[in-house]
Homo-oligomer: A and B are copies of this chain.
Amino acid sequence: MVAARAVVLLSGGLDSATALAVARRDGFECHALSFRYGQRHVVELECSRMQAELQQAAQHITVDIDLRLFGGSALTADIEVPKQRAEADISTGIPVTYVPARNTIFLSYALAWAEVLGAEDIYIGVNVLDYSGYPDCRPEFIKSFEVMANLATRAGIEGSKPLCIRTPLIDLSKAEIIRLGTSMAIDYAHTSSCYDPDDTGRPCGGCDSCVLRAKGFAEVGLVDPLLQRFGMSDA
């Protein structure tokens, strides 16, 4: 039997690498989609390439989109990435690292590709930690995108099988995601979470994303293999 196809959004971060592994475990032929969108942490694209290869994605496309045209985020404009924030601050308000409508744009491209591939499933690794601050990581956003997607495409007119946006990590904490990924043998040494790494991919250790990742590994009782790779762990 031929495996059904899925489009998997793959940023090169810990979450999307895990989402890709779940999609494979679910039996899909995976078509991974990444974006070069003017992000300052472009090293994550090398990680997405590695993950697509390590996890044997059927295909991996990186799309060039220049969100710097619009600006408005610390990840794409000349705004400083906040460092060493307390956990309470991280989970409050919309951070400056929010990129306007980014997930909407990413999912729209995934939708276009899914329609061409005849895929009925799109995986995205949004999770509970993200959606505290980012509007486009919340379940109600994902649900409304799915409704819209089914009206936007041939399926909406021809009544073929509906498209499903799958969010296998949405209710998981970072620690739970790491546990899940470790059980599927993901090599987290080749994932990048930092908002402000150096050119070699070495994480800053101080941004919100580094702080949340470190807390996740600490809770699971594992040393982060990415830190080991850069000789940054005490283990």
Q: Which residues on A are within 8 Å of B, measured CB to CB?
A: 61, 63-67, 69-72, 94, 98-105, 107-109, 111-113, 115-116, 135-136, 138, 140-141, 144-145, 147-149, 151-154, 156-158
Contact = CB atoms under 8 A, between A and B. Distances in A.
> Could you say how many copies of this chain the assembly holds?
2
B108 A105 contact: yes
B152 A101 contact: yes
Contacts of A136: 151-153
Contacts of A108: 101, 104-105, 107-108
Contact of A152 (B63, B104, B112): B104
A94 B155 CA distance: 11
A78 B110 CA distance: 21
Query: What 3 pairs between A and B have smallest CB-CB spacing?
Result: A101-B112, A72-B116, A100-B115
Contacts of A104: 108, 111-112, 148-149, 152
A147 B144 contact: yes
A215 to B, nearest CB: 23
A63 B152 CA distance: 21
Contacts of A156: 135, 138, 141
